[in-house]
């Protein structure tokens, strides 16, 4: 009986030890003096074997903080060691206990051969107030002679002096697929414009293992002294392979509000556990002192003089944006008048020069509706040119020119006017990351005459057998004092590994009233099974022939002023009652549901109320409200579509209660009738039915609510 009990107990322990979470690679410190400590502490197993707590991290998480730690089992004995006889616990120095789970990459590591070592990594959710130095890792052996069936072998408390952050001049070793890769920071640049710091970090990876490795899609972030995390965009990291003894460099760039203290920043690496939507720490580095650029000019003001007067120009940012099978190089400029007299806007043009050899013609785009510069005012300008998306370069120069004489025709950059170089901006390809807008936060376009606030309202997925229609609703609020059209935009969905999915926008056709809102439905087709975790929405103002795109039939050939929105998690809860069902911007309530069979006709009737957010315009093309009726015994089923475009149409000619369309307002005894002469003979089988509401888009559907009811009985 003792043997049977021990077997059952060990099986339960083994099952708890194999809870899955996704593959995460542990971080181990190099033995160099400039690296973090390679060992936190050890606990003996036998006279010749021991546990080593190799590293431990704590990272902010949605539910508090997430701790991860790696132990190494050293078996220096002559017989096999079975980890199924042991376990670890995580607790705080104050006595709080946290449940530790083993990562799935290590779930089969139950045996440690004589003379070998094995690494095992665990994770645990801890309190939001718990810090790294508060933690204690306890090692136990299952011992059924003890009252609680366990014997504590020892514990390792994280010392107050311990840090999981690699020093600025140090090196950490990251294990990728069982191979060691040395990671260190080569240099750190941090430019600044009016709104953002624009940091760029160069991370060096050296494969010191014996096999080629592929760098995972890590989440790179800057962690400020206040513990705030700001994402960084990784350039050239997708499918990056590093051969043995080979070194590769990754360029990371981002944007951080200037209101944030710019000292004591750290670079953090994390890996996403897609299934549970957790980001698990991989490594952290103290950022070194800012490297002084040689000729870099982002964020600096320069003046030039023309016949009209003296102008001040500042290069705010350089971006590289996806566009079909090409990339768009854009330069964001501010042209200012520092004088006391008004000045005309000069006739400017320019080009990019890559590696002092390749010239890329650029078109100037003026995004504000102004015709001159008053004293002390400025205007935003953009220059945009295209390069193959596969083309890499190490040095970029922007040459700004002024044309004397008549302006060229729209869409051209040549003419009879003489061209004079007025300024050069030169930098070592420090392309800035697109500014990220956090979940629930808004972005405001302050261009004169087109001031608009944008915010992401929700995310929805509509599925069929092969694809997912990934959709997000973007709310645009008119901040002008006149009715205006929503700016023409270009949209792309971008995954965490840099994959781009060009998106379609259902544009609002009507003008938006002051303080009114327009809802832009943005969608793209994504292969079924493709992870949309950490997806972001890239939006930019559409440009055609060097001017902001206007008109329904005008097609954009590029875009400027990019911004990226982090997307919220999709609300997938299916309501069990047909009340307050959201079909944004509409809400429908359905009650008093009843069924009847008479004269060979089946009738479904109900009361409903359809409401809509006020002062909101939306293009509902392709959207349907889909009602699905299903008998519990499979006797009767049908579907009925109601086009969103009919919701706002007032039906003044017929009785509203006899209307076959769903309309705004409150309506009683709405009926759906179907001919079914044989249904009356099956009434003894009709017990209960289900009425479901789907949001259907482009032929694909999403279940929103589903309610069960009894046949021939009027529901509440």
3-state helix, strand, coil in the chain (%, to 5): 5, 55, 40
Paired strand residues for 73:
51, 118
User: What pairing do the DSSP bridges indicate for beta strands 489-494 and 443-445?
Assistant: unpaired
What's the pLDDT band for 589 if we cut at 50, 70, 90?
very high
Enter the tokens of residue 337.
């008048």
Q: State yes or no: pLDDT of 10 exceeds 50.
A: no
Residues 169-195 have pLDDT tens digits of 899 888 887 788 999 998 887 766 567
pLDDT score recorded for residue 466: 78
Question: For residues 404 and 363, is the Cβ–Cβ distance under 8 A?
Answer: no
Helix (H) or strand (E) holding 11, with range, is: helix 2-16
Average pLDDT over residues 146-151: 88
* Nearest Cα residue to 262 out of 222, 224, 316: 224
- With a pLDDT cut of 70, the percent of the chain lying above it is 89
User: Does residue 35 have a pLDDT over 70?
Assistant: no
HEC sequence for 361-373: EEEEEECCCCCEE
Distance CA 365, CA 560 (A): 8
Name which of 329, 304, 301 is nearest 315 in CA terms.
Answer: 301
Q: Are the beta carbons of 420 and 350 closer than 8 angstroms?
A: no
Confidence at residue 296, expressed as pLDDT on a 0 to 100 scale = 46
Alpha-carbon distance of 428 to 278, in angstroms, equals: 35
Cis bond before residue 449 (omega within 30° of 0): no
End-to-end Cα distance, the chain: 57
How far apart CA 490 and CA 559 sit, in angstroms, is 7
Cα dihedral 705→709→712→716 (10° resolution) = -80
What does the alpha-carbon distance between residue 617 and residue 52 come to, in Å, rounded to a whole number?
62
Cα–Cα distance list, 652 to 105, 432, 644, 666, 671 (Å): 65, 56, 18, 15, 18
Dihedrals phi, psi of 15, to nearest 5 degrees? -65, -45
Stretch 305-333: mean pLDDT, rounded?
84
**107: exposed, middle or buried (Cβ count in 10 Å: 0-12, 13-18, 19+):** middle
27 vs 165: CA distance, rounded Å? 11
Of the candidates 23, 31, 71, 29, the residue with the CA atom closest to the CA atom of residue 51 = 71
Give residue-wise pLDDT tens across range 216-251.
889 999 999 888 889 988 876 888 899 999 999 887
Cβ neighbours for 303, distance < 8 A, ≥ 6 positions apart: 310, 311, 312, 313, 338
- Alpha carbon 628 to its chain's center: 34
Contact of 111 with 75, CB cutoff 8 Å: no
| Nearest alpha carbon to residue 345 among 379, 315, 313 | 379
User: Which residues have a Cβ under 8 Å from the Cβ of 676 and sit 6 or more positions away?
Assistant: 597, 600, 601, 602, 636
pLDDT tens-digit profile of 629-675? 999 888 888 899 999 988 887 765 445 456 789 999 999 999 999 99
Report which secondary-structure segment, H or E, holds 382: strand 378-388
For residues 154 and 571, what is the distance between their CA atoms, to the nearest angstrom? Answer: 45
Mean pLDDT computed over 258-287: 86
- 685 backbone dihedrals φ, ψ, rounded to 5°: -95, -5
Mean pLDDT of 607-617: 88
Return left, alpha or beta for 546; rule: phi > 0 is left, psi -120 to 50 is alpha, else beta.
left
| pLDDT value for 3 | 35
- C-alpha R_g of the chain: 31
φ, ψ dihedrals at 151, nearest 5°: -130, 125
Calpha distance 162→374 (Å, rounded):
58
Stated length of the chain = 716
Which domains are delineated in the chain? 2-157 (2.60.40), 172-186+201-286 (2.60.40), 301-308+334-427 (no CATH), 436-566 (2.60.40), 581-710 (2.60.40)
The 3-state DSSP class for residue 416 equals coil
Average per-residue pLDDT in the chain?
83
For residue 297, pLDDT beyond 70: no
φ, ψ of residue 656 in degrees (nearest 5)? -60, -35
Q: Which of 16-25, 42-51, 156-165, 362-371 has the lowest mean pLDDT?
A: 16-25
Whole-angstrom distance, CA of residue 2 vs CA of residue 694: 56
In this predicted structure, the answer to whether residue 459 has a pLDDT above a threshold of 50 is yes
Spatial separation of the C-alpha atoms in residues 520 and 151, rounded to whole Å: 61
**72 confidence band (pLDDT: 50, 70, 90):** very high
The least confident of 172-181, 375-384, 406-415, 569-578 is: 406-415
State the pLDDT at residue 504: 93
Neighbours of 9 (CB within 10 A): 13
Q: How far apart are CA 481 and CA 363, in angstroms?
A: 31
């Amino acid at each position: 009986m003792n043997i049977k009990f021990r077997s059952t107990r060990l099986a339960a322990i083994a099952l708890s030890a194999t809870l899955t979470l996704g593959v995460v690679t542990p971080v181990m410190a190099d033995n160099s003096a400039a690296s973090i400590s390679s060992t936190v502490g050890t606990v003996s197993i036998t006279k010749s074997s021991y546990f080593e707590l190799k590293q431990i991290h704590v990272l902010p998480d949605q539910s508090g903080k997430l701790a991860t730690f790696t132990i190494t089992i050293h078996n220096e004995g002559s017989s096999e060691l079975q980890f199924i006889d042991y376990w670890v616990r995580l607790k705080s120095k104050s006595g709080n206990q946290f449940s530790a789970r083993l990562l799935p990459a290590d779930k089969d590591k139950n045996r440690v051969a004589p003379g070998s070592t094995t690494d095992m990594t665990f994770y645990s959710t801890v309190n939001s107030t718990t810090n790294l130095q508060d933690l204690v890792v306890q090692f136990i052996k299952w011992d059924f002679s003890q009252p609680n069936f366990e014997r504590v072998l020892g514990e390792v408390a994280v010392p107050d002096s311990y840090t999981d952050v690699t020093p600025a001049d140090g090196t950490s070793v990251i294990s990728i697929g069982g191979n060691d890769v040395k990671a260190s920071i080569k240099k750190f640049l941090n430019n600044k414009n009016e709104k953002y710091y624009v940091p760029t970090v160069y991370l060096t990876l050296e494969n010191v293992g014996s096999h080629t490795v592929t760098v995972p899609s890590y989440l790179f972030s800057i962690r400020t002294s206040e513990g705030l995390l700001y994402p960084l965009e990784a350039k050239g990291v997708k499918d990056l392979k590093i051969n043995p003894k080979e070194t590769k460099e990754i360029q990371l760039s981002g944007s951080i509000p200037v209101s944030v203290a710019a000292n004591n920043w750290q670079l953090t690496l994390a890996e996403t556990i897609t299934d549970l939507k957790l980001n698990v720490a991989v490594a952290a580095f103290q950022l070194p002192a800012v490297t002084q650029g040689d000729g870099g000019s982002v964020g600096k003001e320069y003046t030039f003089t023309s016949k009209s007067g003296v102008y001040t120009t500042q290069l705010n940012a350089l971006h590289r944006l996806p566009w079909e099978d090409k990339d768009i190089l854009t330069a964001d400029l501010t042209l200012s008048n520092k004088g006391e007299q008004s000045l005309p806007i000069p006739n400017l043009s320019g080009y990019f020069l890559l590696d002092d050899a390749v010239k890329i013609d650029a078109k100037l785009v003026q995004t504000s509706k102004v015709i001159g510069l008053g004293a002390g005012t400025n205007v935003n300008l953009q220059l945009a040119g295209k390069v193959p998306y596969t083309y890499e370069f190490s040095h970029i120069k922007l040459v700004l020119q002024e044309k004397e004489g008549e302006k060229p025709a729209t869409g051209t950059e040549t003419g009879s006017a003489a061209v004079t170089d007025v300024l050069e901006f030169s930098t070592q390809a420090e392309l800035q990351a697109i500014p990220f807008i956090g979940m629930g936060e808004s972005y405001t376009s302050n261009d004169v005459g087109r001031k608009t606030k944008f915010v992401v309202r929700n995310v929805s997925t509509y599925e069929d057998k092969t694809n997912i229609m990934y959709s997000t609703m973007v709310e645009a609020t008119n901040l002008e004092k006149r009715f205006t059209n929503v700016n023409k935009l270009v949209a792309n969905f971008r995954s965490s590994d840099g994959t781009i999915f060009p998106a379609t926008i259902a544009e609002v056709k009507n003008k938006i009233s002051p303080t009114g809102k327009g809802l832009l439905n943005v969608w793209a087709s994504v292969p079924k099974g493709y992870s949309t975790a950490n997806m972001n929405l890239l939006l930019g103002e559409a440009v055609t022939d060097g001017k902001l795109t206007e008109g329904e039939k005008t097609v954009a050939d590029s875009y400027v002023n990019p911004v990226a929105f982090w997307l919220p998690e999709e609300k997938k809860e299916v309501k069990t009652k047909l009340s307050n069902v959201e079909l944004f911007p509409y809400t429908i309530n359905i009650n008093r549901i009843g069924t009847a069979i008479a004269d060979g006709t089946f009738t479904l009737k109900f009361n409903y109320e359809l409401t809509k957010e006020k002062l909101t315009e939306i293009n509902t093309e392709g959207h349907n409200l889909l009602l699905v009726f299903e008998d519990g015994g499979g006797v009767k089923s049908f579907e009925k579509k109601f086009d969103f475009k009919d919701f706002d149409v007032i039906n003044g000619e017929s009785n509203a209660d006899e209307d076959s369309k769903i309309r705004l307002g409150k309506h009683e005894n709405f009926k759906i009738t179907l001919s079914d002469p044989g249904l009356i003979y099956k009434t003894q089988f009709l017990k209960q039915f289900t009425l479901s509401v789907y949001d259907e888009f482009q032929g694909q559907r999403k279940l929103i609510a589903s309610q069960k009811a009894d046949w021939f009985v009027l529901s509440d």
